Amino acid sequence: MTVLRRALPALLAAAGLLLPVAAEPASAPPVLPTVYRIDVEGIIAPATARYILRAIRQAEEARVEALLIRLDTPGGLLTSMDQITKAMLNASVPIIVFVAPEGARAASAGVFITYAAHLAAMAPATRIGAAHPVGVGQGGEQDRTLMEKITNDAVANIRGIARRRGRNAEWAERAVRQSVSATEEEAARLHVVDLIARNVDHLLQAVDGRSVTSVEGPKRLATARARVVPLRMDITEQFLRLLSDPNIGFILMNIGIIGILAELYNPGLILPGVVGAIAMVLGLASFAILEVNAAGLLLIALAVTMFIADLKIPGHGVLTFGGVVSFIFGAILLTQRQAPFLQISLQLIIGVALALAAFFLFAVGAGVRAQGAPVRSGSEGLVGAVGVARTNLEPEGMVFVLGEIWSARAEEGMIPEGQRVQVVGRDGLRVRVRPVA
């Protein structure tokens, strides 16, 4: 007991030294910064604008370190581009545009999007430029004046963006007025972009520690060890992107034409009419997005009218030939005001025109011929039908025709039972027959 009393103070002192160590919680692992990434490829259209705006909104709500846009585009629609650049200029999250992978380009609308980023980078073997507006008229003083207005507005827009981001405004103006382009090395030297990066990891390492200014003020990026989270297009954006392709819209419109006419010439099928109506609406919606030429639509409508008329009017194929020519010119005019990458493929136009002509000559023609053919069933189909006498016709009796028993009257003397007869007329519920050898 004496030994325990003497050892107790020492034990309590040792326990007191150990308690703070035991009570101290284990240190939590450091939270890595997050960078959202989206891939923008192809035409800048309403689907692209919706995709980028959603990514900016989600990045702001999650308060991530930055939003990375990997860009590869030949250009696109001015309205969609304006929506994107406006959202980028007013974003509270730092936005990095990376023209990649190797071989990619940021042309036309892509120049504006690259300039609007807080930081811009390009991968090796990429290019940027050729931002002259395309898509106004086909000559004439009014068209030239309108093109000049659009060009001047685009120049003022990109110069303002360049001043906001501290980039080369003179080169940007030449890209709009003269459609100049630059490789990644030229762009970095001219201060069109901030740096050249091999890939996303190299880019995040290179921009780590750089300061950018958003609407919330200056911010220093910490991206060296950032966790990259991809954001992909949702179903709605993918559907809108599909409709933004003029070739898809053209195919849908022609499916609509074929389906609706097939239903008109064969009433009661229902399915062709439903599919055709849906496809027609979607095709017109696609062309509404692309702002097509109304003259092209009128020529296509004229072509369909000629196809139908050739079925009703003996024209020896002249109207069908005229319809093919009208259809081809109409399809070319549909998107002739747009940039080349927004125009319908000529091979597709010719192929569809020939397919439509074949459809009207054979499929619809067969339906029209069937409507004009004599009735083969029911009481109207009795005349000319062949049957058998079930009783002696002296001159009246019973005959079996088309699966039914009819009262009959012989027109040429007496017809014995079992004799083959042919119906030559009908009087109410009685048929007139004559013997068949």
* Coil, helix or strand at residue 322: helix
Torsion sign across C-alpha atoms 295, 298, 302, 308: positive
Domain of residue 394, residue span: 379-435
pLDDT at residue 289 is higher than 90: no
Give yes or no for a contact between 145 and 122, defined as CB atoms under 8 angstroms apart. Answer: no
Residues 364 and 390 in one domain: no
Given 372, 405, 424, the domain boundary residue is 372
Residues whose CB is less than 8 angstroms from the CB of residue 187 and which lie 6 or more positions away in sequence, other chains included:
122, 128, 193
Given 192, 217, 236, the domain boundary residue is 236
Tens of pLDDT, residues 376-399: 555 566 787 888 999 988 888 999
**422 inside domain:** yes
Residues 215 and 273 in one domain: no
Residues 201 and 283 in one domain: no
The count of domains in the chain is 3
Task: Look at residue 82 in the predicted model and tell me its pLDDT.
Answer: 94
Rounded to 5 degrees, φ, ψ at 390 are -90, -20
Torsion sign across C-alpha atoms 368, 374, 376, 381: positive
Tens of pLDDT, residues 172-201: 999 999 999 999 999 999 999 999 999 999
Question: Residue 50 gets which letter from DSSP?
Answer: H
CB environment 102-128: b (16+ within 10 A), e (fewer): eebbbbbbbbbbbbbbbbbbbbeebbb
Tens of pLDDT, residues 113-136: 999 999 999 999 999 998 888 754
**157 inside domain:** yes
Rounded to 5 degrees, φ, ψ at 181 are -130, 165
Task: Look at residue 23 in the predicted model and tell me its pLDDT.
Answer: 42
**11 inside domain:** no
Look-up: residue for tokens 């990066």?
197
Which CATH number covers residue 427?
Answer: 2.40.50.140
Residues 271 and 232 in one domain: no
Which CATH number covers residue 116?
Answer: 3.90.226.10
Task: Look at residue 366 in the predicted model and tell me its pLDDT.
Answer: 61
Tens of pLDDT, residues 152-176: 999 999 999 999 999 999 999 999 9
108 catalytic, yes or no? yes
* Coil, helix or strand at residue 36: strand
| Candidates 86, 149, 379, 407; catalytic one | 149
Residues 357 and 269 in one domain: yes
Look-up: residue for tokens 């053919």?
373
> What is the secondary structure of 84-105 as a DSSP string?
HHHHHHT-SS-EEEEE-STT-E
Residues 249 and 103 in one domain: no
| Candidates 80, 108, 244, 326; catalytic one | 108
Both structure tokens of 419: 């004799």
Residues 312 and 352 in one domain: yes
**141 inside domain:** yes
**118 inside domain:** yes
Residues 208 and 316 in one domain: no
Given 349, 372, 395, the domain boundary residue is 372
Mean pLDDT, rounded, for 54-62: 96
**23 inside domain:** no
Residues 80 and 159 in one domain: yes
Look-up: residue for tokens 């300039």?
115
Selected residue with higher pLDDT from 144 and 141 = 144
Mean pLDDT, rounded, for 3-13: 48
Residues 274 and 147 in one domain: no
Residues 279 and 360 in one domain: yes
Residues 140 and 268 in one domain: no
